[in-house]
Structure 1
Amino acid sequence: MATWQQFSEEAPALAEKIKERFTAVKSHVLATVRRDGSPRVSGSEVDFREQDLLIGSMIGAMKAKDLQHDGRFAIHAASAIDEGGADAKVSGKAVEITDPAEVARLQGDDGEAHVFRLDLTEAVLTWVEGNTIYFDFWKEGQGLKRLARPDNGPVVEVASN
């Protein structure tokens, strides 16, 4: 797993564009795994603090319980593709910060909450230019690739590092 800082160091331009999407609006869609293995989606906000990507949750919320049981997540930033912008997603494992002093420091005066650091295994930015859809795709341990799908045809790799 890579922290946001590690991801940012490996793929700085992609990290900046993804951060831009996540900070453009407040609410995003978080996918978690329920105890029975089925998926759950919830609205969630993100916060970039001290080189980490964080999410919070009300005490006892179902998404917090899901993440405590199975930290796997995916979060999809509110899309801007229809406005000529991009679509951003990251996934990995959420790690709960349990030290009360650390939670209080991160939360400030926002009250009691669960706080999770999001460690990443992959990140994707998608956008459209003309008749081509592009995907900048970073996967932990595999680096960065740019894929394209021109004219709704097959996906081709157009760049990698």
Structure 2
Amino acid sequence: MRTNWAAFTAAEPELATTVEARFEAFTHHVLATLRKDGMPRTTGLEVRFLHGELWFGMMPGSLKALDLRRDPRFALQANPGPGTGMGGGDVRITGRAVEVDDPATKAAYVKEVEPPQPFHLFRTELTEVVRTHVEDDTYLVVEVWKPGEPVRALRRT
């Protein structure tokens, strides 16, 4: 079952709105991929939410693009912003990145985003969305969503 951003939004609209707002608050975020030797690699990345998809655009031949071509698993963390506030909480998404070569899809993306040419384009298939935040200055709350399951909230004091 392919679970894209639209499916997540339909299943959990409140959490999806919060997560998207955290990513849209800043331009650059942190992407984790797997190197050829299996070791993790973290790099900066801009993301886009368009037409029910979460998209990654990358420079041609970038190491993160080569990593995703070889092993599509990724972890993405929203930029926490300056200081210690983290308004909206800490947000992470894991999943698989699928490269898009379809000329019509890439042309539609270019029309809206205007990325430097040429570029790699990946759409995402979500496996987990996690939001961690403080509630009432008392509880650390971890909300976890996985495809086909409701959000599970864990609270710690």
Conservation of the 8 A alpha-carbon contact between 2:54 and 2:123: yes
**Alignment root-mean-square deviation, CA:** 1.4
Conservation of the 8 A alpha-carbon contact between 1:52 and 1:118: yes
Write the letter of the residue equivalent to 1:145: R
| Separation in structure 1 between the aligned mates of residue 5 and residue 47 of structure 2, nearest angstrom | 12
Over 4 Å off, 4+ runs = none
Q: What per-residue deviation string (whole Å, max 9, x for no partner) do you get for residues 73-130 of structure 1?
A: 0100012582152111100000111113321321234221101001101001111131
Write the letter of the residue equivalent to 1:28: H
Q: What per-residue deviation string (whole Å, max 9, x for no partner) do you get for residues 19-50 of structure 1?
A: 00000000000000111111100100100111
Name the structure 2 match of 1:76. Answer: 77
**Consecutive unaligned residues in structure 2, runs of 5 or more:** none
Q: Is residue 138 of structure 1 aligned with residue 145 of structure 2?
A: yes
Query: Pick from 114, 119, 134: which aligns with 2:120?
Result: 114
Name the structure 2 match of 1:155. Answer: none
| Separation in structure 2 between the aligned mates of residue 84 and residue 33 of structure 1, nearest angstrom | 27
| Separation in structure 2 between the aligned mates of residue 47 and residue 84 of structure 1, nearest angstrom | 20
Q: Which has the higher strand share?
A: 1
C-alpha spacing 1:23/1:9, structure 2 compared with 1 (3 Å): same
Q: Is residue 21 of structure 1 aligned with residue 27 of structure 2?
A: no
Q: Secondary structure at the match of 1:123?
A: strand
Cα offset for 1:142?
Answer: 2.4
Cα offset for 1:139?
Answer: 1.1
| Separation in structure 1 between the aligned mates of residue 149 and residue 40 of structure 2, nearest angstrom | 27
Name the structure 1 match of 2:52. Answer: 51
| Separation in structure 1 between the aligned mates of residue 64 and residue 33 of structure 2, nearest angstrom | 7
Q: What per-residue deviation string (whole Å, max 9, x for no partner) do you get for residues 2-27 of structure 1?
A: 10000111111000000000000000
Question: How many pairs align?
Answer: 150
Q: Is residue 91 of structure 1 aligned with residue 94 of structure 2?
A: yes
**Consecutive unaligned residues in structure 1, runs of 5 or more:** 151-161
Identity %: 40
Name the structure 1 match of 2:43. Answer: 42
